[in-house]
Amino acid sequence: MPPGALHSDGESGKGTCIFQGQYIIVLLCCFEKCWFHEYPGMCCSYYSAAMTKDDYKTLENIVGKSHVTWETADLLCYSYDGTRQSFMPEAVVFPANAQEVSEILQFANTAGIPVFPRGAGSGLTGGSLPTSGGIVLSTERMNQILRIDTENLVAVVEPAVVTGVFQKSVEKLGLFYPPDPASLAFSSLGGNVAENAGGPRCVKYGTTKDYILGLEVVTPTGDIITTGGQTMKGVVGYDLTKLICGSEGTLGIVTKIIIRLLPLPEARKTMLAMFHSIQGAAKAVSTIISNKIIPSCLEFIDKYTLEDPGGRRRNMEGAPDDFSCAAQDQP
């Protein structure tokens, strides 16, 4: 939770105020007047008063009536993510482009309403949870692959393109996008950028940030900026592209992504080795790497996982006594 965050309980003059110092958390409950209001420097923008009808009308004017909702059933669908925690927003808005995102953020700044960017909601760090109510800004309408440049091995996409769909699209053209998070069948590329997603193949190919050449980003104040470019070499100025990768939406909302691609590997082989101890499996991994053999992915699996992949047997006594190590190699 940010320093000085305030969670209102929806009743006038009552609430729970949490101030986080480096090591101290002070909790005040059911007070008649929030003392943060006496200190503007500490009563920060994380506080959200209840949204009004005029606020909803403004959002409708920006994105269209059919692209904003405050119905309870809809809000519930956007109140949680992969962490299974839930915080109810006051509105969900679905912009179609960077300009609409900019106008939403400018309005939210003026009205003092917090905004929480959301991709597919599959993240496991809580980055898209609307912890202070306010507005959930869903990027799901921005879902187009704008260009795949087979000559320069570059693609330009919008943030809601599903990772697995994008991988299949470039593979049809003989190209390869290596990052493979476990959620690739439904996670979005914008969310991958926000979380700097990895996956099993990162042992050889790296994570999402290693394939992002540039971004179009809307800052919290509503400014539309571009970082990087469509060239492999970009050495001038601060590397804002890398800074935004992994920032979980705290520095801005990604509205366009320039991606570096690789030639599609011509072959793939998978090897499975069985071990009787965790020490033996771990030593095998070290030996593979020390011999300068870098597989595209290298997975460690215990006996019970192999026998019970669905996780149905949760309470088992004793430690696993058999281990396997699967390696997949690509030229």
Report pLDDT digits (tens) over 248-303.
989 999 999 999 999 999 888 888 888 888 888 889 989 988 999 888 888 888 77
Same domain flag for 176 and 196: yes
The Cβ of residue 186 has, within 10 Å, a number of other Cβ atoms equal to: 14
Same domain flag for 151 and 216: yes
Lowest-confidence segment of 43-47, 234-238, 313-317 by average pLDDT: 43-47
The overall longest dimension of the chain from CA atoms, in Å, is 69
**Domain finish residue from 126, 141, 156:** 141
Q: Is 46 helix (H, G, I), strand (E, B) or coil?
A: coil
Residue with tokens 């950028």: 193
Please determine, for residue 99, whether its predicted confidence score (pLDDT) is greater than 60: yes
pTM exceeds 0.75, yes or no: yes
Our count of domains for the chain comes to 4
Same domain flag for 35 and 133: no
Cα three-residue angle 102-162-242, rounded to 5 degrees:
60
**Domain finish residue from 122, 141, 160:** 141
Higher per-residue confidence, 91 vs 7: 91
CB 106 within 8 A of CB 222: yes
Range of the domain at 88: 50-141
Residue 246 belongs to domain with CATH number: 3.30.465.10
From residue 158, give the alpha-carbon distance in Å to each of 58, 162, 164, 267. 25, 10, 14, 30
Same domain flag for 152 and 255: yes
Q: What is the pLDDT of residue 86?
A: 94
**φ and ψ of 238, to 5 deg:** -70, 145
Provide the mean pLDDT of the chain.
Answer: 82
What letter does residue 316 receive in the DSSP assignment? -
Same domain flag for 166 and 244: yes
Same domain flag for 134 and 168: no
Strand ranges inside the chain, DSSP E: 6-8, 15-20, 25-29, 68-69, 91-93, 115-118, 135-138, 145-149, 154-157, 175-176, 212-218, 224-228, 253-260, 262-263, 269-275, 297-302, 323-329
Lowest-confidence segment of 40-49, 98-107, 211-220 by average pLDDT: 40-49
**Residue 123 host element (H or E):** none
Give the pLDDT band (50/70/90) at residue 311.
low
Q: Is 214 helix (H, G, I), strand (E, B) or coil?
A: strand
**Domain finish residue from 141, 172, 203:** 141
Two tokens at 163? 């990772």
Same domain flag for 155 and 259: yes
- In angstroms, the CA 234 to CA 228 distance is 7
Same domain flag for 101 and 162: no
Q: What is the pLDDT of residue 268?
A: 85
Q: 168 Cβ partners below 8 Å, 6+ apart?
A: none
> Closest by alpha carbon to 194, among 74, 81, 69?
81
Q: What is the pLDDT of residue 323?
A: 55
Same domain flag for 157 and 259: yes
Report pLDDT digits (tens) over 177-199.
999 999 999 999 999 999 999 99
Report pLDDT digits (tens) over 51-81.
999 999 999 999 999 999 999 999 999 999 9
Q: In what order do the strands lie in the sheet with 68-69?
A: 68-69, 91-93, 135-138, 115-118
Same domain flag for 160 and 251: yes
Q: What is the pLDDT of residue 312?
A: 57
Please determine, for residue 28, whether its predicted confidence score (pLDDT) is greater than 50: no
Residue 83 belongs to domain with CATH number: 3.30.43.10
